[in-house]
Amino acid sequence: MSNPLLDDAGAPVAPPPIGATVPPCVISVDPDSPAHLAGMQVGDEILLINGQSPRDVIEWQLLVDEGELDIELRRSGIELSAEISKTPGHPLGIDVHSAVFDRVRTCDNHCEFCFIYQLPKGMRRSLYLKDDDYRLSFLYGNYTTLTRFTEADFERVVTEGLSPLNVSIHATDPDVRTDMLRNKRGATSLRWLRALLDADIEIHGQIVVCPGLNDGDVLEETLCGVLDEYPELASVCVVPLGVSAHSNEARMRPHTVAEAARVCEIVESWQDRFLDLLGRRTVFASDEYYLRAELPFPASETYEGFPMHEDGIGMARTLELEFTGQVEDPTGVRPGFFASVDGAPADGYRAPRAEAESAKIAESEKTSQVPATPVPVSIGIKRTAPVGILTGELGAQVLAPLVESVGRDDVRIVTVRNDFFGGNTAVAGLMTGADLARTLAEEPEGHRYLLPDVCLSRGMFLDGLTIDDLPRSVEVLSTDGVALRKALRA
């Protein structure tokens, strides 16, 4: 059955118009689940659950966690009902088309550095969605500027305990922040950050540094403002501006080596101040800054448990610890840039579940090493064949010393240049099928090619291609050092 809420590639289409509501649509039903036993099918539109129409997957999950469910649905235009009895907290067994059913809170900022503005034409419509929705911040770790945050939003976050949230700060000076967001509310919206912290909501901050705009003295002032006004922030990541070849903003340019080094210097000096005054470093520069500055990464212990691993803070050190066997469990996998758009809605869900089910899920996640993306069988390729590790230009810099330490001349890094986005785009998470296909076409047949799953969403690259479109067979691995270490032992 075709699904009007998904495009031809199976990804969510653009969100409904403002004010419109689209019922959650079933996109998968787990075999032998309560939903399957009740006869629910892919394509069913869920109208009501116990008399309520959920606004988003947060409300959805709270409703379907109930033991007794009275579901009103629509199938091919015909309204039906299903009554389900199950253990409270036990999964219903279905995934729905989106994380938000009423409408995604789209972003009304016009940031020059926004990567959505830098995308090439012709990609899937869902990838051009520019959100500023606190719910996607809670569900997937997206960053919100709070410029569209309201009293009603604040009440819901506090009463439902939607924590942690991620907030884009960029600058604490009102004029600088207004200029960067190109939104007059940029000067005042950080009042919500203060209110959320006062309500004991855990907040992680982000500063995207743009050369000539909020670096240097402005960055110093911003970190001083964080310490003075928002000391309760759980952490703050400082990340560099990404500039694709499709950017039309004259003020946007990549950092020079000296500029990147200066950012690292500023961050480290403020880490000392935070440590002296608060007992923790709080602010961290991304791995990319150290790579761009040609500086060694900080020691593992300085990352204080890697609280912002998903934002590229300390990933190189965790990869090293995992690869060398100093830790046995992966620290975590950084989701791709568009995880909230194309990822399964439940993947990032953080709301509390029934105690027994939460323990079961936690234990499953702890022990499972199975990557989220299915691993294809490399038919006819020997496990003893030479190995090529596919990664972006920045990933190659991180992996090079690790691969060298193995002491195997049959293992090499295959660097994938990102021509699809161009510019200074060089992270593994933004590798596309076209760039991988171009690179692999020049590589020998019969070798094992290892691909990190961070560049895939439901088996699809950002340009819409899949691993079946590649000219060589690949083995998809979880993006961590444990998976890579085990793959090289095979």
Q: What residue ranges do the domains of the chain occupy?
A: 1-103, 115-313, 369-489
Per-residue pLDDT of the chain (490 residues; tens, 9 = 90+): 334 344 444 444 444 444 457 899 998 899 999 999 999 999 999 999 999 999 888 899 889 999 999 999 999 999 999 999 999 989 999 988 888 888 778 889 999 999 888 889 888 777 777 888 999 888 888 899 999 999 999 999 999 999 999 999 999 999 999 999 999 999 999 999 999 999 999 999 999 999 999 999 999 999 999 999 999 999 999 999 999 999 999 999 999 999 999 999 999 999 999 999 999 999 999 999 999 999 999 999 999 998 888 788 999 999 999 999 998 888 765 454 444 444 334 444 443 333 333 333 334 433 333 344 344 445 567 888 999 999 999 999 999 999 999 999 999 999 999 999 999 999 998 999 999 999 999 999 999 999 999 898 878 899 999 999 999 999 999 889 999 999 998 6
Q: How far apart are CA 473 and CA 49, in angstroms?
A: 44
Helix (H) and strand (E) counts in the chain: 15, 14
Closest CA relative to residue 210, chosen from 221, 198, 219, 197:
219
User: Which SS3 state, helix, strand or coil, does residue 432 take?
Assistant: coil
User: 55: how many CB neighbours lie within 10 A of its CB?
Assistant: 16
Helix (H) or strand (E) holding 475: strand 475-477
Half-sphere exposure of 405 (CA within 13 A, CB side): 10
* Secondary-structure class of domain 1-103 per CATH: mainly beta
Q: What is the pLDDT of residue 413?
A: 97
> Are 225 and 173 a contacting pair, CB within 8 Å?
yes
**41 burial via Cβ count (<10 Å: 0-12, 13-18, 19+):** middle
Fold annotation for 115-313:
TIM Barrel (3.20.20)
- What span, in angstroms and rounded, lies between the C-alpha atoms of 377 and 380? 9
d(CA 341, CA 55): 17
Q: Provide the β-strand partners of residue 450.
A: 389, 475
208: helix, coil or strand?
Answer: strand
Tokens of 235: 């952490």
Pairing of strands 165-168, 94-96: unpaired
Q: What are the structure tokens assigned to 387, written together?
A: 């190995």
**b/e map 209-232, b = 16+ CB within 10 Å:** bbbebbbeebbeebbeebbeebeb
Using alpha carbons, select from 376, 345, 350, 361 the residue that is nearest to residue 453: 376
Residue 50 region by backbone torsions, left for phi larger than 0, else alpha for psi between -120 and 50, else beta: left
pLDDT in the model for residue 22: 84
Q: Which two tokens stand for residue 161?
A: 């305990």
Tell me how crowded residue 383 is: count the other CB atoms within 10 A of its CB: 11
Of 151, 155, 131, the closest CA to residue 143 belongs to: 131
Query: How high is the pLDDT of residue 264?
Result: 98
Q: What is the pLDDT of residue 380?
A: 61
H/E run at residue 57: helix 57-64
Predicted confidence at residue 128, as pLDDT, reads 78
Which pLDDT belongs to residue 384? 86
Could you count the other beta carbons within 10 Å of the beta carbon of residue 423? Answer: 16
Residue 124 CA to chain centroid, in angstroms?
Answer: 18
The pairing of strands 78-85 and 68-75 is antiparallel
Question: Residue 398: what pLDDT?
Answer: 95
Total residues found in the chain within this entry? 490
DSSP SS3 for 414: strand
- Describe the strand order of the beta sheet including 235-240 as a list of residue ranges: 143-144, 165-168, 203-209, 235-240, 283-285
Spatial distance between the Cα atoms of 136 and 142, rounded to a whole number of angstroms: 6
Residue 300 has what DSSP assignment?
A: G
| Contact between residue 340 and residue 142 where contact means Cβ atoms under 8 Å apart | yes
- State how far the Cα of 412 lies from the Cα of 386, in Å rounded to an integer: 8
| pLDDT for the residue numbered 20 | 52
Give the pLDDT score at 430: 92
In 3-state terms the chain splits into helix, strand, coil percentages (rounded to 5) of 35, 15, 50
CB burial of residue 429 (10 Å; 0-12, 13-18, 19+): buried
Cis link prior to 164 (omega < 30° from 0)?
yes
Is residue 133 packed enough to be buried (19+ CB in 10 Å), middle (13-18) or exposed (0-12)?
A: buried
State the Cα–Cα distance between residues 41 and 45, nearest whole angstrom.
Answer: 9
CA dihedral sign, ordered 60, 61, 63, 68:
positive
Check residue 346 and give its pLDDT. 41
Q: Which amino acid is at 285?
A: A
